[in-house]
């Protein structure tokens, strides 16, 4: 149980574990399917900031959500996609590669130069 109250039906909200971390769900489930995000908890990336090694935080802004560095505004690293520990192989770039889907293909996109390379599927 949490302190939060469902704003749809007034029941108490309970903390649940989901795929993207903890969230609040209405205890009136399945009658009420209201859920809330736990805003006290910051989502951190498993990969450190490619620019300074700090932590990457999932931030929400009016223009959308993105990965930003904890040392902002000192470090201005920003990426819409969570970077991996792989580095861009283009000379002089060395930016972090972020796995993403582009035109229905699995690719790595460099957060710096936006170069895309196909992702090799492991296994299968």
Part in contact with Zn ion (CB under 5 A); list of ranges 14-22, 58-66, 89-97, 98-106: 89-97
Instruction: For residue 90, count other CB atoms closer than 10 A to its CB.
Output: 13
Residue 56 binds Zn ion, judged by CB under 5 A: no
Least CB distance to Zn ion at residue 124 (A): 27
Q: Which of 79, 83, 110, 119 binds Zn ion (CB under 5 A)?
A: 110
Least CB distance to Zn ion at residue 19 (A): 21
Task: Give the Cα separation of 81 and 51 in Å (integer).
Answer: 15
How many Å is the Cα radius of gyration of the chain? 19
Assess whether the previous peptide bond of 73 is cis (omega < 30° from 0): yes
111 or 123: CB nearest Zn ion: 111
């Amino acid at each position: 149980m949490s302190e939060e109250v469902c704003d749809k039906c007034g029941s108490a909200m309970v903390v649940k574990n989901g795929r993207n971390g903890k969230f609040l769900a209405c205890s009136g489930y399945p009658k009420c399917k209201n859920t809330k995000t736990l805003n006290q908890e910051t989502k951190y990336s498993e990969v450190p900031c490619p620019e300074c090694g700090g932590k990457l935080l999932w931030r929400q802004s009016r223009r959308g959500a993105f990965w930003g560095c904890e040392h902002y505004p000192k470090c201005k690293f920003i990426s819409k996609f969570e970077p991996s520990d792989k580095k861009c192989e283009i000379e002089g770039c060395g930016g972090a590669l972020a796995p993403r889907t582009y035109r229905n293909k699995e690719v790595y996109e460099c957060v710096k130069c936006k170069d895309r390379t196909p992702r090799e599927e492991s296994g299968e």
